[in-house]
Amino acid sequence: MVKSVPTLLVLKALEREVSHGYRIASWINQASEGALELKEGTLYPLLHTLEQKGLIVGEWRREEGQREVRVYRLTDRGYRQLRQEERVWQGFAQGVQRILQHSGGAVHDPV
């Protein structure tokens, strides 16, 4: 139903700050209090797909006293996509929540 949850998570992580793959994965894990984990097998191909789509841009950067890392930054297009993904997810989550809170039985009273 909602296939783009990893996309939403990655875009949200990058809205916060310029970041590299490891920190994106760590942030998602920490921000969800350990509930969500984005595996590397999903994360890196996704980052590269988003880059190809122009939603994020990546560049190699050498930190002071650190090794070189590839950091990603959200583009304007990525920012708009994030807002859209958020709306889709909120609609989806509200729908699921309504179902979970439903007491059961028929949805509409018989006339």
Partner 1 sequence: MTPFEFLEQATATIPSNRRANSVRRELYSHWMLKTADLVEGGMDAAAAEQAAMESLGDPAVIAAAYHVPRSPLRLGAALLAGAPLFITAVLTAYRPADIVLWLTVLATVAVIAEPGASLKDRFLSLKSLVESSRLIVAVAALSGIADAVNNFGGSTKILLVCFVPWLAVLYLCWQRTSDSRLTPFAMGWMTSFSSILAGLLVFGLRLPGSAWSDGFSAISGILVPFSVFVLAYLWEFVQWMRSREGRLFSPRVTSNPSHDEDMAEV
- Give the residues lining the site for partner 1 (CB under 8 A): 15-23, 39-42, 44-45, 48, 51-54, 57-61, 63, 66-71, 73-79
Q: Which of 44, 12, 17, 40 is nearest to 28 (CA)?
A: 12
Minimum CB–partner distance for residue 66 and partner 1 (Å): 6
To the nearest 10°, report the CA torsion of 96, 88, 12, 7. Answer: 90
Closest CB to partner 1 among residues 75, 89? 75
Q: 11 with 55: CB under 8 angstroms?
A: yes
Closest CB to partner 1 among residues 79, 89? 79
Q: 41 with 96: CB under 8 angstroms?
A: no
Closest CB to partner 1 among residues 76, 109? 76
Distance CA 2, CA 16 (A): 23
Minimum CB–partner distance for residue 93 and partner 1 (Å): 24
Minimum CB–partner distance for residue 13 and partner 1 (Å): 12
Closest CB to partner 1 among residues 28, 71? 71
What are the phi and psi torsion angles at 56 (to 5°)? -135, 160
